[in-house]
Amino acid sequence: MRELEEPVRTMALVCVCFGLRISECLGLKWSDVDWLNSALRVERSIVRQRVGDVKTIYSGRMMSIDAEMLAVLKSWKQATQFACEMDWVFASPVQLGRLPVSYP
């Protein structure tokens, strides 16, 4: 993990810790993070830069976030230039934050 650069490091942690598909991870917005209740809401995915529903009814869910993961997300929110509630968690600087980063 130490070898990965941001935002890939945080994306990998989010996918592994929450069991998310990359499309669900990229579909996260800051408003999906409930900081006070330490919870994450997964309600959309993004494939080929198109926003849609999650893949299955079981994919859309509310999950608890432990303190260490909450700290990782907080650190990323402080580092990114796109930190408003409606911004993508992994917004693309190339797209000026209008879309999340893309994957091949």
CATH of domain 1-104: 1.10.443.10
Which residues, at least 6 apart from 99, have a Cβ–Cβ distance to it below 8 Å? 46, 49, 88, 91, 92
Q: What is the mean pLDDT of the chain?
A: 90
Q: What stretch of H or E contains 16?
A: helix 8-18
Domain residue extents for the chain? 1-104
Rounded to two decimals, the pTM is 0.89
| 13, pLDDT greater than 90 | yes
Q: Which two tokens stand for residue 6?
A: 């941001």
Would you state the pLDDT for residue 72?
97
Instruction: Give the CA-trace dihedral at 55, 44, 73, 38, to 10 degrees.
Output: -90
> Predicted confidence band at 7 (pLDDT cuts at 50, 70, 90)?
very high
- Read off the pLDDT of residues 31-63 as tens digits, 9 standing for 90 and up: 999 999 999 999 898 888 888 777 666 556 789
> Pairing between strand 61-64 and 39-42?
antiparallel
